[in-house]
Amino acid sequence: MAQDHKHLEVVLDSQVESVNLAEEMCLRVAEAAGFDEEMCYRIGMSVREGVINAFHYGNQERPDKKIHLALELTPEKLVIHVMDEGKGFKLSDVPDPLAEENILSTSGRGIFLMRAFMDEFDVVPGSTGGAEIVMSKWLPGVPGHANGQSGSSENGTAPQKEA
Amino acid sequence: MPLYATHRDSGTVTVVDMGGRITLGEGSALLRKTIGQLLDEGHTRILFNLADVDYIDSSGIGELVHAYTSARNRGGELKLLHLTRKVRDLLQITKLYTVFEVYSDEPTAIRSFQ
């Protein structure tokens, strides 16, 4: 790994408390990396949703299964990996929470929020056999990217003004 | 800050004042318990005052939807008051802003139940 890349990896238990722990850890890294308050919120929320996904859907809340969280800080972006020990899933199989038939569903918005709040998002087969969420946010000031400006959105999901 | 929820009556409307975080775990559980108790006690006109709710995740959004559908299934109504920017933004991007009736002042919200 290049010297200017920083890497942090932790293994979390499958429990609710791990969600808050992961969020707090990533917020500290994001703040230290120079993201503003709004971007830190989006990163923290995405990590939170990623770990909830691993805990609930991937590991089925089984205490014998772990959640693997890794953060990579490169000169260009913060990359976050969340891997579970479940059976894996395909993004194409995830229902669209904005579809009329799903709008009143009480679950199924986590993936949508991660996609909305991060610059890059994918789900790949993990080395554990489960799913690995890989998502990233461009660092403030990286040429060609608008991050660091509060309220910006590059994926068309910016909230509309209140009527 | 953990979620807190207290309720008061304003005419025939029950106003639930909430603050803190509605997230997976205690926050979502408290919200579910609160709406369940209110409906069981016969309160069917419910206004959630979210003025001091500064954070909500997908689990919390799910609980708001559950509260909304539970009230409707009992023949009641559930509306929202004083959304913070983050909560409003989340409801907008998830398209739930058009599902809930949302108000920015309490007297107007109370009158809307009449």
Residue in A52, A160, A162 closest to B24 by CB: A52
pLDDT at position A156, please? 40
The DSSP string of A59-128 is STT-TTSEEEEEEEE-SSEEEEEEE-SS----GGGS--TTSGGGTT-SS--HHHHHHHHSSEEEEEE-TT
pLDDT at position A144, please? 74
Q: B6 falls in which pLDDT band (50, 70, 90)?
A: very high
Q: B48 falls in which pLDDT band (50, 70, 90)?
A: very high
Inter-chain CB proximity A109 and B95 less than 8 Å: no
pLDDT, tens only, A88-146: 999 999 999 999 999 999 999 999 999 999 999 999 999 999 999 999 999 998 877 76
pLDDT at position A141, please? 86
pLDDT, tens only, A29-81: 999 999 999 999 999 999 999 999 999 999 999 999 999 999 999 999 999 99
Q: B29 falls in which pLDDT band (50, 70, 90)?
A: very high
CA angle B57–A157–A121, rounded 5-degree value: 70
Structure tokens at A28: 């500290």
β-strand A66-73 against A77-83: which pairing, if any? antiparallel
Nearest to B84 by CA among B104, B57, B59: B104
Residue in A19, A98, A116 closest to B24 by CB: A19
pLDDT at position A3, please? 58
Inter-chain CB proximity B57 and A112 less than 8 Å: no
Structure tokens at A9: 């990896």
The residue of B1, B22, B24 whose CB has the most chain A CBs within 10 angstroms, and thus the best one to mutate to test that interface, is B24
State percent of chain A over pLDDT 70: 87
Structure tokens at A48: 């939170």
pLDDT at position A163, please? 30
Q: Any idea how long chain B is?
A: 114
The residue of A104, A106, A115 whose CB has the most chain B CBs within 10 angstroms, and thus the best one to mutate to test that interface, is A106
pLDDT at position A149, please? 46
B 6-35 residues with CB < 8 A to A = 23-25
Inter-chain CB proximity B95 and A98 less than 8 Å: yes
pLDDT, tens only, A4-37: 789 999 999 999 999 999 999 999 999 999 999 9
Structure tokens at A122: 């994918």
CA distance A24 to B73: 38
Inter-chain CB proximity B25 and A19 less than 8 Å: yes
The DSSP string of B42-109 is T--EEEEEEEEEEEE-HHHHHHHHHHHHHHHHTT-EEEEE---HHHHHHHHHTTGGGTS-EESSHHHH
pTM for the whole thing?
Answer: 0.90
Is B8 in a helix, a strand, or coil?
strand
Q: Which residue of B has its CA nearest to A99?
A: B95
Interface residues of A toward B, Cβ cutoff 8 Å, are 16, 19-20, 41, 45, 48-49, 52, 97-98, 103-107, 109-110, 112-113, 116, 157, 159-160, 162
